[in-house]
């Protein structure tokens, strides 16, 4: 039987509807409108698209948002000055610096300059550290979205063996840190694999839940999976497709056709993890505005 599709688009819409409802209440009861500042440096087309769709989501939620578009040549000091201004702006509850940054700007310095109480991306070392410790914090949006997809798709990871393929700071490691906590909706046995893993299939075949965050098109095939597992495909890769109008199409890190013959449930690409990232960003911004994370 082909795998059940975990509909990330529908789950993301559900989350956004909840955020919108709570934002309206926040405005009504406390006069607070959640505010998000986007900082975009340079002309990277993918970054432009991401920032546009995040801005559109803010509009849908009734949030206040500003987008600072800066030239590629901006100095690190000028960028820091802008961040300090946003840190002190009471109308701004969340700050998002779209990555990657130009080579002459040090990413860590920029991320660390953001007030961790406004770090809705969850990349500041204070939030990273608190996540590892199992304390309340802003959790990175894509990994938090992975957990929500599991829970709302009826696949509680508690007690399950989760194998995460990929150990990046923005996806693999935080997925691991979220799912291994002794907390409701987590409490999983987590294994993390990477390029140093000698026989990847040995590990992927043991996964009750497989999270693929590799950045390699269709690298994980059905014969690498345990029958009946749940697959969360974080990957977004564009590959040539002569049958498509644009000549390309998006695929995940998992080979969908073969995997969906083996797995019990699977996220599609597009329409799986992708929409969750923006939904979780909206949720983090609401939490920041409510002062729910830090006082
Ligand atoms: P990175 O390139 O930063 O990390 C990739 C990780 O995968 C690394 O840890 C690397 O190992 C590991 N890896 C690469 N090849 C293999 C392999 N053959 N076997 C085992 N491990 C391997 O990628 P990201 O984490 O940033 O992104 C991963 C994917 O998720 C990408 O496709 C990206 O586009 C997508 N993504 C999607 C988002 C969404 O909103 N849906 C958001 C963010 C990312 P090593 O550490 O040893 O190099």
Q: What confidence tens digit (pLDDT) does each residue in 128-155 have?
A: 999 999 999 999 999 999 999 999 999 9
Catalytic site positions: 54, 98, 121
Q: Which domains does the chain have, with CATH numbers?
A: 30-115 (3.40.50.10860), 141-273 (3.40.50.720)
- With the most atoms of ligand 1 within 8 angstroms of its CB, the residue from 9, 144, 173, 194 to mutate is 194
Q: Which residues contact 240 (CB under 8 A, 6 or more apart)?
A: 247, 248
Cα(45) to centroid of ligand 1, in Å? 20
Q: pTM score > 0.85 for this model?
A: yes
Burial state string for 228-248 with b = 16 or more CB within 10 A and e = fewer than 16:
ebbbbbbbbbeeeeeeeeeee
Cα(222) to centroid of ligand 1, in Å? 19
Region at 74 (left for phi over 0; alpha for psi -120 to 50; beta for the rest): beta
Residue 187 confidence (pLDDT)? 98
- With the most atoms of ligand 1 within 8 angstroms of its CB, the residue from 11, 50, 107, 214 to mutate is 214
Residue nearest atom 31 of ligand 1, based on CA coordinates: 215
Is residue 113 within 8 Å of residue 80, measured between CB atoms? yes
| DSSP state, residue 242 | T
Structure tokens, 97: 């610096």
Indicate the average pLDDT of the chain.
Answer: 97
Within 6 A (CB) of ligand 1 lie 142, 165-168, 170-172, 193-197, 200, 213-216, 219, 234-237, 253, 273-274, 277
Q: Which residues of the chain have pLDDT under 70?
A: none
CA-CA distance, 50 to 122, in Å (whole number)?
17
Q: Which residues contact 53 (CB under 8 A, 6 or more apart)?
A: 278
Cα(281) to centroid of ligand 1, in Å? 20
Cα(151) to centroid of ligand 1, in Å? 23
Residue 295 confidence (pLDDT)? 79
At residue 254, φ and ψ (nearest 5 deg) are: -110, 140
Residue 153 confidence (pLDDT)? 97
Which long-range contacts (C-beta less than 8 Å, at least 24 apart) are formed by 108-111? Answer: 109/76, 109/80, 110/76, 110/79, 110/80, 110/83
Helices 273-290 and 45-61, axial angle in degrees (round to 10): 50
Q: Which residues contact 254 (CB under 8 A, 6 or more apart)?
A: 210, 212, 218, 219, 220, 221, 231, 233, 235, 266, 269
Residue 20 confidence (pLDDT)? 98
Residue 1 confidence (pLDDT)? 82
**DSSP β-ladder status, 230-233 and 209-212:** parallel
Pick from 248, 290, 287, 288: nearest CA to 270 = 248
């Amino acid at each position: 039987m082909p795998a059940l599709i975990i509909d990330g688009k529908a789950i993301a819409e559900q989350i956004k509807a909840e955020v919108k409802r709570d934002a309206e209440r926040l405005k009504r009861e406390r006069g607070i409108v959640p505010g998000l500042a986007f900082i975009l440096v340079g002309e990277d087309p993918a970054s432009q698209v991401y920032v546009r769709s995040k801005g559109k989501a803010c509009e849908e939620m009734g949030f206040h948002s500003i987008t600072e578009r800066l030239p590629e040549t901006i100095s690190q000091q000028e960028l820091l000055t802008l961040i300090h201004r946003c840190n002190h702006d009471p109308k701004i509850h969340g700050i998002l610096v779209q990555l990657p940054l130009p080579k002459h700007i040090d990413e860590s310095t920029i991320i660390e300059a953001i007030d961790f109480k406004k770090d809705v991306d969850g990349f500041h070392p204070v939030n990273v550290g608190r996540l590892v410790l199992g304390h309340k914090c802003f959790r990175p949006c894509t990994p938090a979205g992975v957990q929500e997809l599991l829970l709302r798709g009826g696949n509680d990871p508690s007690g399950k063996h989760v194998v995460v393929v990929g150990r990046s700071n923005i996806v693999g490691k935080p997925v691991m840190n979220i799912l291994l906590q002794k907390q409701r909706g987590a409490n999983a046995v987590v294994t993390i694999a990477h390029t140093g893993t000698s026989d990847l299939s040995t590990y992927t075949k043991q996964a009750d839940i497989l999270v693929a965050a590799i950045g390699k098109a269709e690298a994980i095939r059905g014969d690498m999976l345990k029958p009946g597992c749940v697959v969360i495909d974080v990957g977004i890769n564009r590959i040539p497709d002569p049958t498509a109008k644009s000549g390309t199409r998006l695929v995940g890190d998992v080979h969908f056709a073969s995997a969906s013959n083996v797995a019990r449930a699977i996220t599609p690409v597009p329409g799986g993890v992708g929409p969750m990232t923006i939904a979780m960003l909206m949720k983090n911004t609401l939490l920041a505005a409510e002062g729910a994370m830090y006082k």
